Amino acid sequence: MVEHQRKSIEKAHKAGMADIATGALHNIGNILNSIKTSAHLIYKNVENPFIDKLNKANSLLLESVSDWQQFTANKDKVEKLSDYYQRVGEHLEKQRESAKYEINRLNEHIELIANVISAQQNYASAGYISEDLTIERIIEDSLAILSEMFTKYDIRVIKQIEAVPQMALQKTKLMHTLINIFKNAKDAMLTIDNDRLLTINVHQENDFVLIRVTDTGEGISDENLARIFTHGFTTKSTGHGFGLHSTANYIQEMGGQIWAESQGSGHGCTINIRIPIISKAAQDLSPD
């Protein structure tokens, strides 16, 4: 039985690492598509046909320098050329603003890719030992890896995160837990017509930090509330019932608690995580 439990935990660990890596790669792929679009629009600006027309107008103007008096005497030509220069200038100004906008988007997307890769590498190289970390950093990294998912499914994220102390956390396990919860919230919100809103609340309660993740999804029945963290339980046709069970084990290993709240069908769900505020040094001194 002990060996079976050890293998189950190891399987959960590997699944968690795969979830993080898959989320990062999927996100980067979507961001690269946006980069490709911006690069194409910038190229179109560079290949602007108005520049060729502007060069022709300049050539005509230079040819007229030799007989400038005669050229300026033709009021109709001067007005047409002046009007043309004005229209070209306005068009080039619009294209310059468009190019600046797309370049800024490129920079933002490149920075986002760097952040996603950095987050993924940070957790991929981490073991399962506890470190003194901030909850906020792990939440931000989890959101970064899934950011394109929120955009794709039109999910608005609200963060209500109070400053809380650093604490001994197993960061890969906590990140896997959050990613699992965020993905489940997304799935629950796809089935209804409500606004898709994910609210993340973090605050301190005495010697604990409480993380509350609330969605506006389909909700959970009273019958299922007590079962959702049970191994093998799932309401999804393609689910295996392993994700939330492994997250419950992770939180328990960190000395915490996890539970769900819901007012029933159509009223969304809140997943609560309570973790004790214990430093790594204090944890190492604990007889447990």
Residue 240 pLDDT class (50, 70, 90 cuts): very low
Q: How far apart are CA 180 and CA 189, in angstroms?
A: 14
- Over residues 245-265, the mean pLDDT reads 85
- DSSP code at position 67: G
Give the pLDDT band of residue 254 (cuts 50, 70, 90).
Answer: confident
- CB count within 10 Å of CB 12 equals 19
User: Between residues 260 and 18, which one has the greater pLDDT?
Assistant: 260
Q: What angle do CA 254, 255, 261 make, to 5 degrees?
A: 95
Q: Which of 182 and 41 is assigned the larger pLDDT?
A: 182
For residues 258 and 20, which has the higher predicted lDDT (pLDDT)? 258
* pLDDT greater than 70 at residue 5: no
Q: Residue 48, Cβ neighbours under 10 Å: how many?
A: 15
Fold of 1-125: Helix Hairpins (1.10.287)
DSSP collapsed to 3 states, 150-178: HHHCCCEEEEEECCCCCEEECHHHHHHHH
Please state, in angstroms and rounded to a whole number, the distance separating the CA atoms of residues 70 and 92. Answer: 30
Quick one: what percent of the chain has pLDDT higher than 90?
20
Rounded average pLDDT over 125-150: 78
Where do the structural domains in the chain lie, given as residue ranges?
A: 1-125, 131-285
Tell me the pLDDT tens digit for each residue of 17-75.
Answer: 566 666 566 666 666 777 777 777 777 766 666 677 777 777 766 666 656 666 666 66
- Tell me the mean pLDDT in the region 138-146: 85
pLDDT at position 70 is: 64
What pLDDT was estimated at residue 241?
Answer: 45
| Average pLDDT of the chain to the nearest whole number | 76
> How far is C-alpha 15 from the chain's CA centre?
20
According to the model, what pLDDT value does residue 215 have? 95
Region 2-10: mean pLDDT is 54
- Average pLDDT over every residue of 169-177: 81
pLDDT at 88 over 70: yes
Quickly list DSSP for 33-47. Answer: HHHHHHHHHHHHHHT
53 against 258, higher pLDDT: 258
pLDDT reading at 202 higher than 90 = yes
| Fold for the domain defined by 131-285 | Heat Shock Protein 90 (3.30.565)
